[in-house]
């Protein structure tokens, strides 16, 4: 993933849509994701994201990216989505999303940060692979959606009581 500053500087450029990633428990904004550089006629687009450094590893980033990917495939006729990531990020995504991502390109020593050059790895996620992966996880996802909805309803009910009682 790109740095938060780089991501936020470029966020509006050629962005198809963007989302704020927030915690259901706290409501805090912890990052954002977007779809950009879309080519609707050829059926591909880039997906990007950035997280607050204090929330990396919380799972919220990958959840936000997953929701953005799902939105992209449900809303448009993309055949595949691309992500440009560093070598380190490519390892992280590969371990998290397993066989879903395919390396389709590598720009050697393309990025410079932390005192060294890094490869930019172009990863691709295909619609059919995503659909199959999602179908296998449908029971878990349905349970998670139900749990999140219950949490939000409890929060709303609590806020309503406080408003009446206060």
Q: Does residue 119 lie in a domain region?
A: yes
3-state DSSP assignment of residue 46: strand
Q: Which residues, other chains included, contact 71 with Cβ-Cβ below 8 Å and sequence gap of 6+?
A: 17, 19
Q: Does residue 9 lie in a domain region?
A: yes
Q: Does residue 140 lie in a domain region?
A: no
Structural domain span for residue 80: 4-127
Q: What is the pTM of this model?
A: 0.74
Q: Does residue 92 lie in a domain region?
A: yes
* 125/108 Cα distance (integer angstroms): 21
pLDDT tens, residue by residue, 121-140: 999 999 999 999 888 888 87
* 80/66 Cα distance (integer angstroms): 14
pLDDT tens, residue by residue, 20-41: 999 988 999 999 999 999 999 9
Number of domains in the chain: 1
* 141/119 Cα distance (integer angstroms): 34
Q: Does residue 132 lie in a domain region?
A: no
The enclosing domain of 116 has a CATH number of: 3.40.630.30
pLDDT tens, residue by residue, 42-78: 999 999 988 898 988 888 888 898 999 999 999 999 9
């Amino acid at each position: 993933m790109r740095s938060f500053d780089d991501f936020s500087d470029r966020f509006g450029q050629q962005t198809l849509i963007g989302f704020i990633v927030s915690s259901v428990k706290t409501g805090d904004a912890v990052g954002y994701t977007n779809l950009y550089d879309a080519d609707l006629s050829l059926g591909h687009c880039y997906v990007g994201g950035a997280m607050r450094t204090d929330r990396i590893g919380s799972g919220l980033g990958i959840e936000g990216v997953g929701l953005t990917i799902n939105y992209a495939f449900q809303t448009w006729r993309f055949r595949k989505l691309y992500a440009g990531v560093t070598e380190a990020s490519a390892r992280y995504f590969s371990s998290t999303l397993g066989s879903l991502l395919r390396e389709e390109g590598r720009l050697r020593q393309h990025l410079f940060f932390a005192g060294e050059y890094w490869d930019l790895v172009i990863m691709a996620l295909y619609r059919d692979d995503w659909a199959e992966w999602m179908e296998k996880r449908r029971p878990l996802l349905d349970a998670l959606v139900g749990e999140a909805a219950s949490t939000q309803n409890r929060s709303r009910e609590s806020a309503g009581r406080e408003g009446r009682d206060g």
